[in-house]
Amino acid sequence: MKDPKPVFRLTCRLLPALVSSAAILLAGCQPAPAPVEPVRAVRTLVVQTAPTRSQLEFAAEIRPQVESRLGFRVPGKLVERRVQFGQTVRAGDVLARLDAQDLQLGQEAARAALGAAQAQLDVAESEFKRFVTLRERGYISGAELERREASLKSARAAVEQANAQLRLQVNQSGYSTLVADAAGVITAVEAEPGMVMAAGATVVRLAHDGPRDAWFSVSEDRIAAVRALIGRQGVLQVRSWGASDRNWPATVREVAAAADPATRTFLVKADLGAAPVALGQTVTVLLPGPETPPALMLPLTALFEHQGKSQVWVLDRTTMTVQMRAVQTVGLQANLIVLGAGLNPGDTVVTAGVHTLSPGQKVSLYVEPKP
């Protein structure tokens, strides 16, 4: 029979180590202490009632007030076009040219006709002088002298006619060159070299430098209100899609007398004056509506959705904690939400950082850092 003492001694030596390991394992199974919720700095707003005004928005396009369709006054073959779409030109710049050979031949023919008429006039004047002398001596009758005088007048008229025809042909030759009658931008090109152009056919369209218009369409039920705004300076506001924080005043300049046959809307042109807008730019036209009773308004950043309802964080200034409160929205004015219920005047609402808060969380008021 073996001696149990060695086994007992080994067990006694291992027992303290086993107890220590068990204590460490038990300590690891205990839950860690909850982290302390940080105190977040928030932007707030004290809710106040303010008068609201309904506002309609229309998508508009910037167009020139004056846009010319430029073409040649004479027919001919287009041999050169010097401008491209979108190019800026100055008054007097050459835009295109026609083949002027036929026009030059007509000018030469008119000059030759003028020379022939001048020669006939010289002959008629010489003959008339001789017939005046003969009449003074009694060799011819007064009727004959009158016939010679009529021939002289006819010759003079023929010279004047030939001279006018020559000037016309010179002008026709000059019309073979198309020049810009004002400074502006080429907004369309409708002819290419090699085309045979009829007189008056459009070659390019030129948007003149100067005031710009915002063109937008209005439905029939709003057209009476828009017509009442014609001529009222700055009654409209125009906002660029690329600069939503800046508006330009505009004045209703023209309203179409009839609806568009396809869309059944009325075209409205609003004068933007010297606003820094580009041709073809898309803008939003803000049309004022009637003023409504005062209401509570909040910025869009103050609202968030929870369980299918619009919510805001209301700050308790006594405990500096926030609580969630459901609100009812009834409209939109610019970048503000018009509230129908849920808040009272004087409530303090968090307007920034709403998605990082939890009910009952402590917060502090945000302070702008000093530069």
**Is 125 within the bounds of a domain?**
yes
Q: What are the CA-CA distances from residue 316 to residues 79, 320, 359, 362, 364 (Å)?
A: 80, 5, 12, 10, 11
Q: Answer yes or no: is 357 within a domain.
A: yes
- Chain CA centroid to CA 128, Å: 73
Supply the pLDDT for residue 30: 55
Judgement on whether residues 95 and 186 belong to the same structural domain of the protein: yes
CB neighbourhood size of 180 (10 A): 20
Residues 297 and 314 in one domain: yes
> In the β-sheet with 76-81, what is the strand arrangement from edge to edge?
177-179, 94-98, 76-81, 196-197
CATH number at residue 196: 2.40.50.100
Are 77 and 199 in a shared domain?
A: yes
Residue 105: inside a domain:
yes
pLDDT digits (tens, 9 = 90+) for 181-215: 899 999 999 999 999 999 999 999 999 988 899 99
Query: Within a domain: residue 23?
Result: no
pLDDT of residue 279: 84
The CATH number given to whatever domain includes residue 219 is 2.40.30.170
pLDDT digits (tens, 9 = 90+) for 232-252: 888 888 888 766 667 889 999
In the chain, the number of structural domains is: 4
**Is residue 85 domain-shared with residue 115, that is, in the same domain?**
no
Using the structure block, give the residue that is written with the tokens 């924080």. Answer: 245
Q: Picking from 10-24, 155-169, 218-232, 350-364, which range would have the lowest pLDDT averaged per residue?
A: 10-24
Is residue 289 scored above 80 in pLDDT?
no
Mean residue pLDDT across the chain = 82
Over 70: is that where the pLDDT of 302 sits?
Answer: yes
Q: What is the CATH number of the domain that holds 339?
A: 2.40.420.20
Rounded Cα–Cα distance for residues 312 and 339 (Å): 11
Whether the CB-CB separation of 314 and 348 falls below 8 Å is answered with yes
Once rounded to an integer, what is the mean pLDDT over residues 58-73? 91
Q: Is the confidence at residue 21, as pLDDT, over 70?
A: no
Segment 115-120 shows an average pLDDT of 90
Backbone angles phi, psi at 258, to 5 degrees: -130, 155
Residues 79 and 190 in one domain: yes
Q: Does any domain span residue 194?
A: yes
CB atoms within 10 A of CB 62: 19
**54 close to 290: Cβ distance less than 8 angstroms:** yes
Q: Given 266, 292, 318, which residue is the final one in a domain?
A: 292
What's the pLDDT band for 303 if we cut at 50, 70, 90?
Answer: confident
Is there a single domain that holds both residue 195 and residue 78? yes
Would 28 be classed as within a structural domain? no
CATH code of the domain in which 116 resides: 1.10.287.470
Q: Is the pLDDT of residue 28 over 70?
A: no
Q: Are residues 218 and 283 in the same domain?
A: yes
So what's the pLDDT on residue 352?
Answer: 81
CA dihedral 193, 173, 90, 95 (to 10 degrees): 0
- 184 and 274 both lie in a single domain: no
CA distance 156 to 154: 5
At 1 the pLDDT is 45
**Contact criterion met (CB below 8 Å) for 308 and 345:** no
User: Residue 10 has what pLDDT?
Assistant: 44
Clarify whether residues 184 and 135 are in a common domain.
no
Mean pLDDT is lowest, of 50-54, 123-127, 167-171, 172-176, for 50-54
Give yes or no: residues 288 and 213 share one domain: yes
Percentage of the residues of the chain whose pLDDT score is greater than 90:
25
Residues 226 and 341 in one domain: no
Mean pLDDT on 152-164: 90
Q: Is residue 16 part of a domain?
A: no
The residue-averaged pLDDT of 50-70 equals 83
Same domain, 117 and 219: no
Identify whether 127 is part of a domain. Answer: yes
Which domain range does residue 137 map to?
100-174
